[in-house]
């Protein structure tokens, strides 16, 4: 989990360019530091079974504001999911923003979905 805007800003270019970035964790999932990395040479390689972010929206509830993303797999139907984690929001918005700018035109994602919420996402191959 990343709650730092700086960590998000540093990791997004790595994700978008296919760079090999590593992080230091505190505990099992809190990012303490992004280790030095060089920008990748191109877009991340697509997942063979990936989703694309077809639309985005925001929602405000009594618990706060969150991102709603609409994912589509191939020519299949579009499904809406809630995203509360700020790092996942940044990854999904970066994938949405890259559509039409990279090859393939729609960056594919591997996502883990629990109920109606996306709990993890990866751009390109793991």
Q: What is the pLDDT of residues 23-60, one digit of tens each?
A: 888 887 788 889 998 887 766 555 545 788 888 999 88
Query: How would DSSP label each residue in 60-120?
Result: EETTEEEEEEEEE-TTS-EEEEEE--HHHHHHHHHHHHHTTTSSSSS--EEEEEETTEEEE
Residue listed under structure tokens 């230091």: 24
CA pair distance 61, 65, nearest whole angstrom: 6
* pTM, two decimal places: 0.59
């Amino acid at each position: 989990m990343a709650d730092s805007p700086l960590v998000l800003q540093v990791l997004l270019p790595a994700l978008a360019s296919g760079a090999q970035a590593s992080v230091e964790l505190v505990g099992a999932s809190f990012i303490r530091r992004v280790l030095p990395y060089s920008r990748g040479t191109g877009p991340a390689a697509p997942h063979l079974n990936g989703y694309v972010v077809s639309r985005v929206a925001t929602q405000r509830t009594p618990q706060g504001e969150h991102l709603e993303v609409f994912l589509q797999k191939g020519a299949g139907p579009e499904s809406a999911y809630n995203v509360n984690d700020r790092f996942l929001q940044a990854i999904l918005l970066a994938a949405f923003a890259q559509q039409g700018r990279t090859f393939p035109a729609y960056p594919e994602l591997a996502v883990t979905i629990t109920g109606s919420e996306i709990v993890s996402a990866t751009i390109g191959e793991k």
